[in-house]
């Protein structure tokens, strides 16, 4: 697992100020840990600064420039929404309000399965890993395996259904065709490693292409649809697709694109339409063959993305109001 921690990104100025004062990495980790309730090591501080100095991004992160209190609230709000919607898509029964209570207060919701609590914690941790990857030049299979370990944490150990490795059994999905249920297989276990090697190479090439909203939607749709077409893990593929598809957006200064639970039926129908039209993918096949379902999927993404932009816009308005109040506050002693 990579050591860098973009959980430190909101506090970069403070970290650098402490370093200028000669404060060591271990003490910085201790100071920030106590001040912001962060679980970080001195190695994480060192790696964070090293990566920030090494990587030059064309765009600032979507939350940069916000006051610490508003920034913290924004990231928590987005994480809760992202976690709730993505896990609810897969059958998690926790409501958005309950998800917030679990993540923010560490509460256990009476009557709800332990599995649902663990899924929420795991997904929130996976979001942290996505933020960690912003400063990396590229991803590799181990990054995807780490995401899988998060979203599938506490799952029963099964050698044929490995956590943190490609699938070893066939998997597929069922949908309707001409009024009859039809089972469609995803990539075979034997084809998956080669397909994912190609997928990772192409994904890395697209990492810095989300420079506009249109390009961002295009790269998100390519990432998501091609990933779930392969379905490289025995389970957890949808959650990982919705996570990793946001990495190019975040790298280019865009906020994450979240698909709401209210769109679940439409979303699943679109994925089935594309899978049904293109069939099972094999080693030498094109990763994302053209089909009209892609346009429909992109249209839904554009609509869904508006919610995140609205949340970020509201945070920036709050920051402006806070700044005006501060500027108009009477100066003590006058």
**pTM of the predicted model, to two decimals?**
0.81
Class of domain 55-313: mainly alpha
Q: List own/partner pairs for 266-272 with CB under 8 A and 24 or more apart.
A: 266/300, 267/89, 267/300, 270/296, 270/297, 270/300, 271/173, 271/225, 271/228, 272/173, 272/175, 272/176, 272/184
Torsion sign (Cα): 180, 184, 216, 238: positive
- Tell me the pLDDT band of 4, cut-offs 50, 70 and 90: very low
The tens digit of pLDDT for each residue in 127-176 reads: 999 999 998 889 999 999 999 999 997 666 677 889 999 999 999 999 99
The tens digit of pLDDT for each residue in 24-47 reads: 888 888 888 888 888 888 778 877
């Amino acid at each position: 697992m990579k050591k860098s921690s973009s959980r430190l990104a909101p506090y970069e100025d403070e970290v650098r100020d402490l370093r200028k004062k000669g404060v060591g990495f271990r003490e910085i980790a201790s100071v920030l840990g106590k001040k912001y309730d962060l679980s970080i090591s001195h190695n994480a501080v060192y790696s964070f600064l090293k990566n920030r100095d090494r990587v030059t991004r064309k765009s600032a992160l979507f939350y940069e420039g916000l006051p610490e209190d508003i920034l913290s609230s924004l990231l928590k709000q987005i994480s809760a929404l992202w976690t709730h919607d993505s896990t609810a898509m897969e059958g998690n029964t926790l409501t958005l309000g309950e998800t917030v209570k679990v993540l923010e207060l560490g509460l256990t919701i009476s009557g709800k399965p332990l599995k649902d609590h663990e899924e929420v914690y795991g997904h929130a941790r996976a979001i942290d890993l996505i933020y960690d990857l912003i400063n990396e030049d590229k991803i590799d299979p181990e990054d995807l395996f780490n995401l899988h370990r998060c979203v599938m944490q506490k799952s029963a150990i099964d050698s044929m259904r490995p956590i943190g490795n490609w699938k070893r059994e066939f998997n597929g999905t069922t949908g309707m065709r001409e009024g009859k249920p039809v089972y469609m297989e995803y990539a075979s276990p034997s084809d998956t490693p080669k397909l994912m090697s190609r997928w990772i190479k192409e994904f890395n090439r697209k990492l810095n292409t989300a420079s506009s909203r249109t390009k961002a939607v295009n790269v998100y749709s390519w990432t998501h649809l091609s990933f779930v077409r392969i379905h490289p893990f025995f389970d957890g593929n949808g959650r990982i697709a919705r996570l990793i598809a946001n990495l190019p957006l975040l790298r280019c200064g865009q906020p994450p694109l979240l698909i709401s639970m209210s769109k679940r039926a439409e979303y699943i129908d679109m994925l089935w339409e594309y899978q049904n039209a293109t069939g099972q993918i094999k080693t030498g096949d094109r990763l994302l063959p053209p089909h009209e379902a892609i346009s429909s999927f992109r249209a839904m993404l554009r609509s869904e993305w508006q919610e995140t932009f609205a949340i970020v816009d509201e945070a920036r308005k709050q920051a402006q109001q806070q700044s005006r109040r501060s500027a108009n506050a009477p100066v003590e002693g006058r």
